[in-house]
Amino acid sequence: MATGALWHEKYMWWDTRHAGVFIPAGGWIEPDEHVENPRTKRRLKNLLDACGLSEQLHWLTPRPATVDELCRVHDRAYVERMKALSDDDGGDAGELTPFGPGGFEIAALGAGGAIVAAEAVRDRVVDNAYAIIRPPGHHAERDRGRGFCMFGNAAIAARHLRAGGLSRIAIVDWDVHHGNGTQQAFWDDPSVLTVSLHQDRYYPHETGAAEERGEGAGHGSNINIPLPPGAGTGAYEYAFDRVVVPALERFRPEFVVVTSGFDSSALDPLGRQMLHSEGYRRLTRRMLDVAGSVAGGRLLGLHEGGYSPGYVPFCGLAVYEELSGIRTEVEDPFLDFLAAMGGQELAEHQKTLIDGLAAFVDDVPAA
Amino acid sequence: MATGALWHEKYMWWDTRHAGVFIPAGGWIEPDEHVENPRTKRRLKNLLDACGLSEQLHWLTPRPATVDELCRVHDRAYVERMKALSDDDGGDAGELTPFGPGGFEIAALGAGGAIVAAEAVRDRVVDNAYAIIRPPGHHAERDRGRGFCMFGNAAIAARHLRAGGLSRIAIVDWDVHHGNGTQQAFWDDPSVLTVSLHQDRYYPHETGAAEERGEGAGHGSNINIPLPPGAGTGAYEYAFDRVVVPALERFRPEFVVVTSGFDSSALDPLGRQMLHSEGYRRLTRRMLDVAGSVAGGRLLGLHEGGYSPGYVPFCGLAVYEELSGIRTEVEDPFLDFLAAMGGQELAEHQKTLIDGLAAFVDDVPAA
Amino acid sequence: MATGALWHEKYMWWDTRHAGVFIPAGGWIEPDEHVENPRTKRRLKNLLDACGLSEQLHWLTPRPATVDELCRVHDRAYVERMKALSDDDGGDAGELTPFGPGGFEIAALGAGGAIVAAEAVRDRVVDNAYAIIRPPGHHAERDRGRGFCMFGNAAIAARHLRAGGLSRIAIVDWDVHHGNGTQQAFWDDPSVLTVSLHQDRYYPHETGAAEERGEGAGHGSNINIPLPPGAGTGAYEYAFDRVVVPALERFRPEFVVVTSGFDSSALDPLGRQMLHSEGYRRLTRRMLDVAGSVAGGRLLGLHEGGYSPGYVPFCGLAVYEELSGIRTEVEDPFLDFLAAMGGQELAEHQKTLIDGLAAFVDDVPAA
Amino acid sequence: MATGALWHEKYMWWDTRHAGVFIPAGGWIEPDEHVENPRTKRRLKNLLDACGLSEQLHWLTPRPATVDELCRVHDRAYVERMKALSDDDGGDAGELTPFGPGGFEIAALGAGGAIVAAEAVRDRVVDNAYAIIRPPGHHAERDRGRGFCMFGNAAIAARHLRAGGLSRIAIVDWDVHHGNGTQQAFWDDPSVLTVSLHQDRYYPHETGAAEERGEGAGHGSNINIPLPPGAGTGAYEYAFDRVVVPALERFRPEFVVVTSGFDSSALDPLGRQMLHSEGYRRLTRRMLDVAGSVAGGRLLGLHEGGYSPGYVPFCGLAVYEELSGIRTEVEDPFLDFLAAMGGQELAEHQKTLIDGLAAFVDDVPAA
Ligand SMILES: [Zn+2]
Ligand SMILES: [Zn+2]
Ligand SMILES: [Zn+2]
Ligand SMILES: [Zn+2]
């Protein structure tokens, strides 16, 4: 067997149009490249190809998600509105989510890619997998796109797995932004544990607080870990060791999804955190270990954010290497520099915060 | 009178070649745009032009610094080596400082721009000024270029002012990186107070510690404020109120230079700090006030880093607005979003750190 | 006096969105930079600034054209539709003319720039002038945008001059595409002589034939010179000597406008012609001479197309140099290469064609 | 069997640095993207992937050419000099051929790709093949790089086939520039027929005349068809029917190579010719037919120039479709527009020229 990978050229054709950083051009914003553009994802794929790792991965082919599959998470009216806009000239899916003509088909292919990859992991076609999907999904809400996301890829895949018979799924989100869409989708659903590590009050500002823990039967099955800006590898590792891994050990999912943003890296233009490739590698190791011990090793990474065209490739490669157990000859040329940055070690105020969150583990519904 | 501005089209022709972020292309780095490219600076100039503020500024014309002027800070052998490389096909000025043919002339025009702007402020041709210079200068050392910098623009201008008769000059550096070159130039020189606020142990890793305070007669006239990553507007303002402004009030310079990097902004791909345009505006206000009270208002900003093509323009505009007292109709479209980020307020651990540094003010040589 | 120049930063903010060459992205077209983008115009301005010629030009400041001024050439319903689209999210002005929010204001500023420059030349504020306007204008028709053009800048300026009292105006169009909009505007108007040199049956395919000569009172006051692809400097010079200049000498305009596209250059990605900077210089010389002899020297260039970011600057500089009589130290680094290309000399089949068109001169309404 | 295709991600990492069009940045050339950049090639690959044709092609994996293989065409001193420059910081291979560190390895992988693809066609692993190689090769001379080319990929592959036992090879070059390097390599060698169609006196200026026909035993086995600028599909088809195909029918090669530049397209920024995708398709058809009748169908395309990032993909797709006999659902969105351009039909002066060259066929060494 091998580690699965998923990619489709059409993902790169999702058109976020011109912007200043992430605000659409117009007014006092001179048109420029949108920060969510194909370069970051394509350059990761390019590095996999250039170094030869691609040849050792098992490549999966996405199919479009059906409207019914999309509607497991989204309102039908929203889905149809997106299709209509896409058939015309494109538009904005809601908040900060511009797209061009044909965008619906690309986003549906993204959600379908998450489904295909999930099936391959579930059915042991591959050991585990990482899907380089675009557009991202974790901000998309039931009835509107947000934050560059049209459809909730991970939530749709999780619902698909549930419909296919799995009863317990965990989604861990290490994107620098809050996984608000994923949280919303499973807010009162105890069968899907959602854990999001994110920069405190960044995006969306109004969600992601530690106090948001799910509702009704779902209480306790949503954990937010809002890290203060400037969190380094030490803080992330500590949060995994104290909260994320224990929560999964208690929940005992049959399947683990990581919604993976490389915008928690030290060179991201949006996030203020400081992970480097070795940090992502270590977090992946922890997820492999816990998935191995509770979920038969069923681990799937789904690509979310990450806006450094130069550094995303090395973070992504580290994750693929760790998933596959293959170490290529590539050495991250930024690693020594980033690892030596002040603030990589766990700071006292970070420790205090994380220790406080550890109590939530006890409220996670045990298997 | 008016606020001075300085710009030369040739500054934009400084060629940093292809890179991944800031490491030159080659090996496992697929060629891409270098993070230090003309877009950020040009887009600032463009916004000034588009909104009409340009017409209300007093534009100054740079001239090349002479070799002798450069040698007030740099070794002659280094200057000559740069000239020779530039006359050939370009190369690297030392560490992470690629440049193309003709780069020497551009860098000399940059240093000369700093001189011209300094003279205009000194001689009250303008009230104050901000010079959009490229390449930056504060990392350049006596005998080598570092961190995208070939010549120490600010240090050269300060030496020029000293040679012209001024006896006390202060340089405040709010670039996210340590002003190592400026520190080096005036290490044992009590006539130039150098203060650098920067992200702790970022670049260069080995300089910028609080313990570095100058030597011999210069002891006490160098202050480093290494802020932990994730510092927001609150931390910056507190550091100015507790350390920077008091230090200047004690030193009573005749002329204040700000080496201004907008890479301390919340959207910078290199820095991890969180200033927004309003933060830069407030820091500018403080510098205006202190320059007004001790230096006859003589305040000069010299552009250093800043790598967000979308956000640098709004930070720079805010500085020009504050310097000139003119409020344009432009509203920073990112401001509400960035101001609401978690971590903008002063945090306890930041306060403790800054309070500890306040004691250094007493060792600043008083006028 | 001096040569006038006109530019506005906002012209560069006209947003043609993503495309393949000139077809909007979507379907099988992967999003990329539109061929009509700011680079070509900005780089011309940059070169003027870098070499110092800018300082010797008289810079004019555009104002927006009023709706009434636009309606001298366009239907009011079209103008209002453009305003409404622009106030919303932008759209397409008709055929291949995408624009973003706020596009109306930029296009109106373009047309207004043509008016301002025309007045400056008419009133002898400047000797002559060249306005770097964007978006271009010569394809815009009465009731729809076409070919990247929203409003007919030159036609609007000519109508403005007519309204201001001038009775005879000539417009010579050396853009590689047919000046269909200009032709339409003055189709039956003998007071404005319109001459277009263009690549035979290129864009629009259905207009630009030699047989199109104006109607009614306007018969004879429209001349099309459809040059076969591959025409070099020799063919252009011959066409000017045999047709363009004689036509103007007969018509004796009081004011000469050149709608100037540098897409007739040898490095243009759209046109197939082969002008180089020296060719444009010589054509400018001819226009200066004829304007000098019949129109008191009143000559105005209005920028239209030109899609080589690398070569437009040198063509434009040559025109400015010739207009101003100032020769900068810049030497076109492409000139020797392009001048030596096969096909620069007048070919027999080109001569035959042009000789055939010379007869049209006799039908030009004599002054 | 299937049509072969060859590609390596590293080809895209060949770094031509900043330039204006094709002249390296510096002096009065503001740094910009070099016209020979990865976009054109990558976008062709992307389109193949996006439309699904990739899955129906047989992908071949390149290996580096050995130094000995390179030296079948190049001087050892030149090869070693390239290696040394590449191990350092890159440089220029001779004339207009900038490259970055590691460029030697990429160029050797390019030449090796040509070898691998040639073997696959020779050995009937595939029916025929097209290799998307970068950097191009046909301008490289024995002892220097020229025109973006370091090593003569096609010549090296042909020599490899000869060394492997084939006795007669034909190379047809439809790149818009003269195949000077290929001509030089086989100047006195009657075993390799070289035919180049190119724009008359374009690049190199001093080679490519019809009078250059080979020397000694090689006389008659080199045919140049210098087409005047502005040649359309009609002229190209006529030249194939009157000269290229008859020459091959007479020569009866065992293997046919096409050095394929898509810079003969109607949207190329360098060439002035007017082929469209349907034109390239028809030329490919002719090559398939003649290779079928004389060479057992052994036909290999090697990518050379082509500088329109928007149009190269559609030209390349047409060639792949024709080679493979698979018609995808993609329709060239530019085709109707380009096919309707004036000058696509064969013109009289073109016919006369081509008819004159037809006589050279009789001097081709018959099998
Ligand atoms: Zn994110
Ligand atoms: Zn900096
Ligand atoms: Zn045009
Ligand atoms: Zn070529």
Inter-chain touch C272–D229, beta carbons under 8 Å: yes
Q: Which residues in chain C are contacts of A17 at CB distance < 8 A? A: 17-18
Q: Which of B9, B12, B50 lies at the smallest CB-CB distance from C9?
A: B50
Q: Is B28 on the interface with A (CB under 8 A)?
A: yes
Inter-chain touch D32–C19, beta carbons under 8 Å: no
Inter-chain touch D27–B89, beta carbons under 8 Å: no
- Alpha-carbon dihedral angle through residues A5, A11, A12, A17, given to the nearest 10 degrees: -150
CA distances from B243 to A228, B169, B181, B200 (A): 25, 17, 21, 16
Q: What percent of chain D has pLDDT over 90?
A: 99
- The reported pLDDT for the residue numbered A164 is 98
Phi, psi of B198 (to 5 degrees): -160, 165
Inter-chain touch B342–A28, beta carbons under 8 Å: no
| Closest C-chain CA to A86 | C26
Whole-angstrom distance, CA of residue C249 vs CA of residue C241: 11
Distance from CA of B95 to the nearest CA of D (A): 14
E runs forming strands in A7-127: 18-20, 23-24, 32-33, 58-60, 91-92, 94-95, 98-99
Which tokens is A313 given?
């490739």
**Crossing angle, helix C312-324 and helix C277-294, to 10 degrees?**
30
Measured on CA atoms in the order B102, B104, B110, B116, is the torsion positive or negative?
Answer: negative
Indicate the domain borders of chain C.
3-363
Q: Is position A205 annotated as part of the catalytic site?
A: no
- The reported pLDDT for the residue numbered A326 is 98
- The reported pLDDT for the residue numbered C249 is 98
pLDDT at A1 over 90: no
β partners of residue D256 = D170, D299
Neighbours of ion ligand 3 (CB under 5 A): C 175, 177, 261, 263, 305
Whole-number Å distance, alpha carbon A261 to ligand 4 midpoint, is 42
Q: What would the pLDDT profile of C217-243 be if each residue is shown by its tens digit?
A: 999 999 999 999 999 999 999 999 999
Inter-chain touch A17–C13, beta carbons under 8 Å: no
Phi-psi region of C220 (alpha: psi -120 to 50; beta: other; left: phi over 0): left
Q: Which residues in chain D are contacts of A13 at CB distance < 8 A? A: 50
- The reported pLDDT for the residue numbered A41 is 98
Cβ-in-10-Å burial (0-12, 13-18, 19+) of C274 comes to: buried
Q: Which residues contact B43 (CB under 8 A, 6 or more apart)?
A: A30, A32, B309, B310, B312, B313
Catalytic residue among A138, A139, A160, A303: A139
CB contacts under 8 A, C 64-103 vs A, are: 89-92, 100-102
Q: What would the pLDDT profile of D139-171 be if each residue is shown by its tens digit?
A: 999 999 999 999 999 999 999 999 999 999 999
Distance from CA of B14 to the nearest CA of C (A): 12
Question: Could you give the angle at the alpha carbon of A362 between the alpha carbons of A356 and A364, nearest 5°?
Answer: 110
Q: What percent of chain C has pLDDT over 70?
A: 100
Whole-angstrom distance, CA of residue C245 vs CA of residue C300: 16
Q: What would the pLDDT profile of A334-349 be if each residue is shown by its tens digit?
A: 999 999 999 999 999 9
pLDDT at C1 over 80: no
pLDDT (mean) for C17-41: 98
CA C328 to chain centre: 24
* Nearest Cα to Cα of residue C339 among C232, C253, C240, C241: C232
- The reported pLDDT for the residue numbered A48 is 98
* Nearest Cα to Cα of residue D108 among D69, D159, D60: D69
Catalytic residue among D34, D74, D138, D139: D139
Distance from CA of D28 to the nearest CA of B (A): 9
Place of tokens 């580096």: D64
Taking all residues of chain A, what is their mean pLDDT, rounded to a whole number? 98
Q: Which residues in chain C are contacts of D47 at CB distance < 8 A? A: 28, 30
Q: Which residues in chain B are contacts of D99 at CB distance < 8 A? A: none
Q: Is A333 on the interface with B (CB under 8 A)?
A: yes
Whole-angstrom distance, CA of residue B79 vs CA of residue D288: 61
Q: Is D229 on the interface with C (CB under 8 A)?
A: yes
Q: Which of B24, B89, B100 lies at the smallest CB-CB distance from D31?
A: B100
Mean pLDDT by 10 residues, chain B (367 residues): 96 98 98 98 98 98 98 98 97 98 98 98 98 98 98 98 98 98 98 98 98 97 98 98 98 98 98 98 98 98 98 98 98 98 98 98 94
CB contacts under 8 A, A 122-181 vs C, are: none
Which tokens is A147 given?
């934050």
- The reported pLDDT for the residue numbered A367 is 82
**Is the Cβ–Cβ distance between B200 and B264 less than 8 Å?**
no
pLDDT at C276 over 80: yes
Q: Is D13 on the interface with A (CB under 8 A)?
A: yes
Whole-number Å distance, alpha carbon C298 to ligand 4 midpoint, is 43
Q: Is C23 on the interface with A (CB under 8 A)?
A: no
Whole-angstrom distance, CA of residue D140 vs CA of residue D358: 28
- The reported pLDDT for the residue numbered C288 is 98
Indicate the CATH number of B3-363 among 3.40.800.20, 3.40.1160.10, 3.40.190.10, 3.40.50.1100. Answer: 3.40.800.20
- The reported pLDDT for the residue numbered B367 is 82
Q: Is C17 on the interface with A (CB under 8 A)?
A: yes
Taking all residues of chain D, what is their mean pLDDT, rounded to a whole number? 98
Preceding omega of B204 cis (within 30 degrees of 0):
yes
Q: What would the pLDDT profile of C54-75 be if each residue is shown by its tens digit?
A: 999 999 999 999 999 999 999 9
Q: Which residues in chain A are contacts of D9 at CB distance < 8 A? A: 46, 49-50
Q: What would the pLDDT profile of C170-201 be if each residue is shown by its tens digit?
A: 999 999 999 999 999 999 999 999 999 999 99
Q: What would the pLDDT profile of A161-189 be if each residue is shown by its tens digit?
A: 999 999 999 999 999 999 999 999 999 99
Q: What would the pLDDT profile of A196-251 be if each residue is shown by its tens digit?
A: 999 999 999 999 999 999 999 999 999 999 999 999 999 999 999 999 999 999 99
Q: What is the DSSP string of C40-99?
A: HHHHHHHHHHHHTGGGGSEEE---PPPHHHHTTTS-HHHHHHHHHHHHTT-EESEES-EE
- The reported pLDDT for the residue numbered B339 is 98
Q: Which residues in chain C are contacts of B12 at CB distance < 8 A? A: 46
pLDDT at D363 over 90: yes
E runs forming strands in D215-356: 222-227, 255-260, 299-303
Inter-chain touch C102–A12, beta carbons under 8 Å: no
Whole-angstrom distance, CA of residue B41 vs CA of residue B302: 12
Q: Which of D9, D49, D50 lies at the smallest CB-CB distance from A46?
A: D9
Q: Which of B28, B35, B205 lies at the smallest CB-CB distance from A340?
A: B205
Q: Is A52 on the interface with D (CB under 8 A)?
A: no
Q: Is A268 on the interface with B (CB under 8 A)?
A: yes
Whole-number Å distance, alpha carbon C341 to ligand 4 midpoint, is 14
Whole-angstrom distance, CA of residue D271 vs CA of residue A124: 53
pLDDT at C367 over 90: no
β partners of residue C29 = C26
- The reported pLDDT for the residue numbered D354 is 98
pLDDT (mean) for D29-47: 98
Which tokens is C19 given?
């495309």
Q: Counting ligands in written order, which one lies closest to the CA of residue C176?
A: 3
pLDDT at C203 over 80: yes
Does domain D4-17+33-363 sit in CATH 3.90.870.10?
Answer: no
pLDDT at D367 over 90: no
Q: Which of C13, C25, C91 lies at the smallest CB-CB distance from A15?
A: C25
Inter-chain touch B13–C50, beta carbons under 8 Å: yes
